[in-house]
Every structure is written in structure tokens, then in C-alpha cells.
Amino acid sequence: MNIYDFTVTDNKGNAVSLGIFAGKVLLIVNTATACGFTPQYEGLQRLYDAYHERGFEILDFPCNQFGRQAPGADEEIEQFCTLKYHTTFPRFAKINVNGAKADPLYTYLKSRQKGAVTPNIKWNFTKFLVARDGNVAARFGPAEKPDTLAK
């Protein structure tokens, strides 16, 4: 099993097989629009602009589990990110990343790359790097700025 075996829901309610991203490098991020880390959207977009043509995708999963910092419906989140940060990478439906209702994708990601103390996601803007073969290669905490991930 790898990342391409999962199906997620996009921000318009459509089922999306992650198999469409096979052969690409992925950065999967749980995000929030009202968080101290929200300005990381700028760095994420810079990464996307720099590497998208070479087979790099950022998959944005809004999550309201941390301090209710992702309020609003999926459409409102899309508008905020597009208008304020000019993001163009794929955004998906709001999900849970921890607990009994955690999205299966995040349960899988956490099982492959645990955090420093616990497998649970600590906060918004935790990032998972997925290699072209669909295996989870690395996990980065919220304080790790997108610009430092280019290497």
C-alpha cells in the first residue's frame, strides 16, 4: 500500500483518487486560514511555482481541529486562499487529522512518519513529503517554513 491507493474528497465534494498524482513528488499539508502559520501559504505557493513543472504537487487539506483556526465552508477557504495568497495548488475538503474521525489518508501518513513524541499531528501546517514512488519520505513540523524544504 502507498499514497496512491487513497481516495480523498476535493473542495467541491468530488472523489479524487490520489493515483492521479502517481510519479510526482507530493507535499501534503494540513492548513488553516486563521493561524499564526497561515502566511506559510506564500512560501508554499513559491515552492509550487518553482517545482510544479518538474512534477511537484502540494495537496492542501484544511483542518479545523486546532483552535478552530479553519472556520468556514470549503468554498470560503478556497476564496480566502486564492484571493489573499494567490494559491493555485489543489485544495481538498476540510478534514480531521487526529482522533477517531481522522481521515484515513492522515492515519496512513502518521503511521509512516511519526512526530518527535507522538504520531499525532501537533498543529496546523504539518507537512508530509511523499516521494515519486508513493512512499512517505519525511515529515516536517509546523514551524518548518516551506522555503527551507526546497533542498
User: Cell numbers 510519479 correspond to what residue?
Assistant: 23
Beta pairing partners, 53: none
Beta pairing partners, 63: 95
Give the domain range for residue 100: 3-149
pLDDT digits (tens, 9 = 90+) for 8-57: 999 999 999 999 999 999 999 999 998 988 999 999 999 999 999 999 99
63 is catalytic: no
CB atoms under 10 Å from CB of 99, counted, come to 8
Distance, in Å, from the CA atom of 146 to the CA atom of 148, rounded to the nearest integer, reads: 5
pLDDT digits (tens, 9 = 90+) for 121-141: 999 999 999 999 999 999 999
CATH number at residue 91: 3.40.30.10
pTM of the model: 0.94
- Catalytic one among 35, 44, 59, 109? 35
Domains of the chain: total: 1
pLDDT above 70 (res 58) = yes
Mean pLDDT of the chain: 93
Distance, in Å, from the CA atom of 87 to the CA atom of 149, rounded to the nearest integer, reads: 18
